[in-house]
Structure 1
Amino acid sequence: MTNRRSFLKKSFLSTSLLLPGVLGSACGSEKKLGEHFKPLILSTWEHGMAANDVAWDILSKTGDLVEAVEQGVKVTELDLTNLSVGLQGLPDREGYATLDASIMKGDGSCGTVAFVRKVKHPISLARKVMEETPHVMLAGQGALQFAMEQGFPIEEEVLSPKAEALYNEWKKSSEYKPIINIENHDTIGMIALGADGKLAGSCTTSGLAYKMHGRVGDSPIIGAGLFVDDEVGAATATGLGESIIRICGSFLIVELMRQGRSPQEACEEAVRRLIAKNKNIDDIQAGFLAINKDGEYGAYSVRQGFNFARHQADGSDLIDSKYKL
């Protein structure tokens, strides 16, 4: 379902290659087009507003997309009011805060960490995996060992006061049940388009509250919680990770955009597939956020309540996502 703008652009390029003397200008137009991309940063949830501000400041000063998406979500990793990201997040059933994170560039470079304890900034550790190892993912004790080798400070394993109070209350019944739109699985995912047309993204979370020890969600899984491709666009996800993993949600959205869907259409199709592939949908909330190479964006969720932060040259705002149910 190609939009008119994309169709006209493709038609022009295809026709121009057949005309004498136009080959050079058509091939050279990519650089000129790259000079006119409008930078854009999108993040999931209201906590993305503060994250976007930092990311935008870095992007506007340096043009470094990877630095922008890393430093942006680090703001949320330190936000003591947020119980779904960072070491202050709600713990697993055993009382431990275990963290997941991923970072990805549009050229396919990526790094992730899963089931990490005692590391304040798992997103920075994920970037180190991307840049300093031949691997994509490190998990658990191995990820912690790598963090120590890289000079990361290792934090004392103590729950934040708010998380500890809520955990102690939960232990009275010890019942695990995700609560829709309540902050127990609200990942921050950030995707960004630079002025040169390149894309990057990041994703970080403390995962589901009171999960089984060892559980890993969608956030550190490339193609589930995050996927970025310079040729097409980027997508990120939030919500119940198991439901997102089952459909490879972010990869699905990027591939649908590759086939001609708009970001909004691709997010809506992903939600339809998620609903079709998951049982007990009454207990599931999940949301998707996407951007294409032209700077068009879209968002869609299973239910009302998902919102996303947008930052561009003329300012920033918080937008309520459309939803299915």
Structure 2
Amino acid sequence: MTVQGLPMAVPAEGLPARVRIHEVGARDGLQNEKATVPTAVKAEFVRRLADAGLTTIEATSFVHPKWVPQLADAEELFPLVSGLPVALPVLVPNQRGLDRALALGARRVAVFASATESFAKANLNRTLDESLAVFAPVVRRAKDEGVHVRGYVSMCFGDPWEGPVPAHQVVRVCRALRDMGCDELSLGDTIGVATPGQVRALLSLLAEEGVPADVLGVHFHDTYGQALANTYAALEHGVTTVDASAGGLGGCPYAKSATGNLATEDLVWMLSGLGIDTGIDLGRLVATSAWMAERLGRPSPSRTVRALGKTTQPHKDQ
């Protein structure tokens, strides 16, 4: 597979010179697969992503296997990739999850909060405040151990049960996570309903309330085709961390209306055209996503993967 070309770079004023892509395909992408991906394939996926130039690759989740059986091999997987020269965040839902991660030498962890009561109940079986109370000692202990902590905030723009989410509700959760000690926050459009105006309004309110753009990442799903437009709006506000999933893998097992994440290749294509540095080799990334699509037995949903390389068919032995 060869890349036919890259977009002509035409920089736009007011945008960052460099963006760090927080790759979530190996965790957020694969957790939503119906079939369990073999551990060796996951490890190779992470290695290939690192070889393509991604510097932050979310490796797995230390949740109870009952809830996310696709990631039940966290203890087996993490040692296979921990020697890579990249940041390897892992999701930890509680103290037990943190214990498991620390025992394997994890130095970057993430907790997963909600901006709405309904999703907190569906995802964590707790009220919003109860879930925050659970995270507080987890974050505190992680920081005591010198570990970097990311706080995910889901349903920042819309909730399948509650509808549009007021910005002040999101700000309250973000400030609570910052007060706990989270180093960075990721704003999630879990069901992909956000539009650029909403993104600008939320980022403006967060800045007014003391949560600056340099501690924020954005995590857009592409349900209505708005992920890149929303990302551009975030870049205009100074956000320099963008979550994306190689090949557009993923959704959310607790929000059935959630579709795939923003494809990393589509994001890199746009950023390259804006003259924004990512450090990523798009050809290698496209090849990696096509390789994973073979293992999953279906074409990659990424438009850029399809445009730059013929997506191959599944192996006959699968």
- Same fold flag (TM > 0.5): no
Considering fraction of residues, name the structure with more strand. 1
User: Which has the larger Rg?
Assistant: 1
Instruction: State the TM-score, normalized to the length of structure 2.
Output: 0.34
